[in-house]
């Protein structure tokens, strides 16, 4: 049993370090077209599993979402429309996870900071996706337009949440 535990710990350590070793570029990491992509995703899931601070979990989820966007950009240069579509779907799923994680934050100041960060990133992503529309293959265009609409929807939702948090803080409603 002791030997199995050592193997498990070694495997976990490798999975946590592997994405950095396999990365094709600092920002985009490995893309869906790489056969080791599943290890990158598995490592992200593992890191999130062992992140217990809600705010830090949101930060990591935002960073992973940015990686997906960079992967979409990278894939668009290679005209890999199927990989673009799969990565876009993961990107949108990650956006949903960010929203869910933000709602789990109980500390009001941390929640407000997380909302502001997510809102700024959603706005930035909308602009990047708008620029990307002209670079993707025509088969991937509708998917990119969906991603733009989702980014705008999340940006607006975070704006409403930010406004609500500001109002409750202003009138002193307790946690």
Q: What is the largest CA-CA distance in the chain?
A: 58
**Cα–Cα distance measured from residue 12 to residue 2, given in angstroms and rounded to the nearest whole number:** 15
Residue 39 pLDDT greater than 90, yes or no: no
- Residue 134: φ, ψ to 5°: -80, -10
What's the predicted TM-score (pTM) here? 0.76
Residue 14 vs residue 88, higher pLDDT: 88
pLDDT in tens, 89-144: 999 999 999 999 999 999 988 999 999 999 999 999 999 999 988 888 888 888 88
**Cα–Cα distance measured from residue 134 to residue 119, given in angstroms and rounded to the nearest whole number:** 24
Token output for 146:
């969906």
Task: Categorise residue 31: left if φ over 0, alpha if ψ from -120 to 50, beta otherwise.
Answer: beta
Please report, to the nearest 10 degrees, the dihedral formed by the alpha carbons of residues 62, 66, 68, 71 taken in order: -160
Of 129, 132, 66, 61, nearest in space to 97 by CA: 61
Q: What are the C-alpha distances in Å from 145 to residues 19, 68, 150?
A: 29, 16, 9
pLDDT in tens, 58-75: 999 999 999 999 998 888
Token output for 106:
């109980």
């Amino acid at each position: 049993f002791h030997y199995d535990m050592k193997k498990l710990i070694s495997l976990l350590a490798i999975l946590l370090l592997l994405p950095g070793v396999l990365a094709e570029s600092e920002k985009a990491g490995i893309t869906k077209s790489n056969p080791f992509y599943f290890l990158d995703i598995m490592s992200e899931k593992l890191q999130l599993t062992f992140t217990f601070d809600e705010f830090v979990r949101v930060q990591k989820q935002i960073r992973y979402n940015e990686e997906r966007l960079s992967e979409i950009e990278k894939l668009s240069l290679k005209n890999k429309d199927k990989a673009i579509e799969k990565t876009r779907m993961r990107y949108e799923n990650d956006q949903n996870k960010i929203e869910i994680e933000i709602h789990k934050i109980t500390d009001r100041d941390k929640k407000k900071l997380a909302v502001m960060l997510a809102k700024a990133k959603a706005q930035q992503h909308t602009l990047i996706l708008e620029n990307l529309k002209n670079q993707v293959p025509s088969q991937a265009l509708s998917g990119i337009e969906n991603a733009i609409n989702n980014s705008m929807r999340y940006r607006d939702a975070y704006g409403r949440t930010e406004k609500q948090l500001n109002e409750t803080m202003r009138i002193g409603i307790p946690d």
